[in-house]
Amino acid sequence: MSESAPPVTKSTSDERIEFATPIPSQPASDPERNSDGHKKDKALEVIEDVGHSTILTPENNKRVLRRIDLRILPILLGIYFLQQLDKSTLSYGSVFGLIEDADLKGQEYSWLGSSIYLVQLVAQPAVAYILVKVRLAKFLAVMVFFWGISLTCMTPAQSFGGLLACRIFLGVFEAGIPPAFIAITQMWYRRREQPMRLSSWYAMNGVVNMFGSLIAFGLGHIKSSLAPYQIIFLVFGLVTVAFSVVVVNRLRMNQQGIETDEWKWAHVKEAFMDPKSFFWFALMFSISIPSGGITTFGPLIIESFGFDQLKTMLFNIPFGAIQLVATLGGAWLATKYKTKGGVIALLCLPAITGCVMLLQIPRGDSHKGPLLAGYYIISVYPAITPMIYSWAAGNTAGETKKKVINGILLVGQCAGNVVGPNLYTTEEAPGYRRGLLSNLAMFCVLLVLSALNLVYIFYLNQQHGKRRVAMGKSATIIDRSMQEVGEPELDKAEDGRMTEEDNAFKDLTDFENEDFVYVY
């Protein structure tokens, strides 16, 4: 006989909420597996060990969330800051003479920007599998250490071949960072909380453009036998190596989030048969083309307006500030209005305007102000990437399927970042017309894709409602993961009792779980 949890109650005096999850019976021979033979979700194992589910109050919820933020977010923010800083060293180096000293011709500089993403694209299937099997703390620490070494080794490289080899290794060791971060966010945060957390570590792009440019400006003043770009490679690489020690000592997660370590091929099949996977890939590919191009050529675009090396670094700082505000502001809008697709479409509009301005305004000293304004308006586009990550994460269930979808997103991101820099060439300076036209086209494509995906998600919610009715359930259920604890409609069913879905910890995919509510 299986033991059922005690009835769920709500205390009106202190607004305590007790979620009771029925414990299914398990074969005595293997207590670590569900009745279907698959390994249990870690969270379900915890509930079974304790004998009942937890009591959640608004106060407890806020306290737990704060502790998770303080323990996990600083490490994620630090790692992502360094990753983006290390990637940006190439664009900083281009301003300080790297292209001339290394005698880069034609598309060689563009390929230095693309190569890191090409390697990451190839590595994604292996990364998706590894992330299900290994402990994330050790994985992150090792990756950070070796990508720091790879960047440091760029210091003596003064040819296309040497630089390319270092960038390839840099790509190998950075390949697992974004999917690992998404996995951590999915494990530790509810869907309502995910957009702001995903955007917070992605907002480090803006911080990098601000402080990275300022640091590069300072390092560019150093008089040494090393070229300024060599000093940049050396300093940033050694800082990354040192930070890997902090990761080892601090990020000791016990992986007791909602996860299993079993790879389920049925989830893999569903991920590739799911039309949403096409939308996630297409959305990420479309935004990564302008992202890769502008990240690699951004400082060169500013320089083409008629500024010297040091002023170029300084004028790159506002780009980062706007990017930071747009990323966090976009996350706030998505959380408040509960629509990520709508926010993505909204963010495309200023980016389209900025591209048109740079394409139409002629280069020259008398137009520096308007050109900078157009470039800064484009800088809202980085806020779109974490929105796509968050949108996909909030609409995917099943541990293996989540890892596969994360891999699909990363493949789209890497592919776009491979294509993006190669649509720009140093020979097209100062107009960079082909690159800017391609960016304009991609922002328009993003608008269409967002609208189509919203329509499809609406259809899926309607279909799940019909399935629930057929099973004797209510057609409409309250999605607590998208609401704050303490909201009046949060947990109360129509009859006044508190409810908790039986499917919560069964490691079902979003297609399999009829109680899953897709988010817009």
Encoding tokens for residue 34?
């569900």
Q: What is the pLDDT of residue 261?
A: 58
Q: Are 89 and 152 in contact (CB under 8 A)?
A: no
Q: How far apart are CA 327 and CA 384, in angstroms?
A: 8
The helix (H) or strand (E) run that includes residue 337 is helix 317-337
Residue 479: strand, helix, or coil: coil
The CATH number covering residue 415 comes to 1.20.1250.20
Single out the residue of 255, 302, 251 nearest to residue 75, CA to CA. Answer: 251
Q: Are 383 and 323 in contact (CB under 8 A)?
A: yes
Asked if residue 423 belongs to a domain, the reply is yes
Q: Cα–chain-centroid distance for residue 24?
A: 35
Q: What is the pLDDT of residues 173-201, one digit of tens each?
A: 888 888 888 778 877 887 778 788 888 87
Residues of the chain with pLDDT under 70: 1-57, 248-263, 478-507
Q: What is the pLDDT of residue 255?
A: 32
Instruction: Enter the pTM of the model.
Output: 0.71
Q: Cα–chain-centroid distance for residue 373?
A: 27
Encoding tokens for residue 509?
């995919």
Q: What is the pLDDT of residue 346?
A: 95
Asked if residue 347 belongs to a domain, the reply is yes
As a dihedral over the C-alpha atoms of residue 391, residue 394, residue 399, residue 404, rounded to 10 degrees, the angle is -10
Asked if residue 98 belongs to a domain, the reply is yes
Encoding tokens for residue 237?
């690489």
Encoding tokens for residue 228?
């300024």
Provide the domain limits for residue 248.
60-458
Q: Are 396 and 388 in contact (CB under 8 A)?
A: no
Asked if residue 484 belongs to a domain, the reply is no
Q: What is the pLDDT of residue 481?
A: 56
Burial of 332 (0-12, 13-18, 19+ CB in 10 A): middle
Asked if residue 88 belongs to a domain, the reply is yes
Asked if the peptide bond before residue 228 counts as cis, ω within 30 degrees of 0, the response is: no
Single out the residue of 206, 194, 203 nearest to residue 69, CA to CA. Answer: 194
The identity of residue 395, as a single letter, is: N
Q: What is the pLDDT of residue 12?
A: 34
DSSP string of 342-362? HHHHHHHHHHHHHHHHHHHSP
Beta strands in 33-157 (DSSP E): 55-56
Could you count the other beta carbons within 10 Å of the beta carbon of residue 475? 12
Q: How far apart are CA 319 and CA 437, in angstroms?
A: 20
Asked if residue 485 belongs to a domain, the reply is no
Q: How far apart are CA 415 and CA 286, in angstroms?
A: 10
| Distance set, CA 504 to CA 42, 274, 276 (Å) | 12, 21, 22
7-12 contacts: CB < 8 A, separation 24 or more? 8/497, 8/498, 8/499, 8/500, 9/498, 10/491, 10/492, 10/498
Q: What is the pLDDT of residue 284?
A: 94
As a dihedral over the C-alpha atoms of residue 59, residue 60, residue 61, residue 62, rounded to 10 degrees, the angle is 50
Q: How far apart are CA 388 and CA 394, in angstroms?
A: 10
Asked if residue 185 belongs to a domain, the reply is yes
Domain count along the chain = 1
Q: What is the pLDDT of residue 287?
A: 95
The identity of residue 170, as a single letter, is: L
Please give the DSSP secondary-structure letter assigned to residue 482: G
Q: What angle do CA 235, 237, 240 make, to 5 degrees?
A: 110
Q: What is the pLDDT of residue 355?
A: 92
Q: Are 233 and 93 in contact (CB under 8 A)?
A: yes
Asked if residue 326 belongs to a domain, the reply is yes
Q: How far apart are CA 193 and CA 14, in angstroms?
A: 24
Contacts of 302 (CB under 8 A, 6+ apart): 312, 315, 316, 372, 375
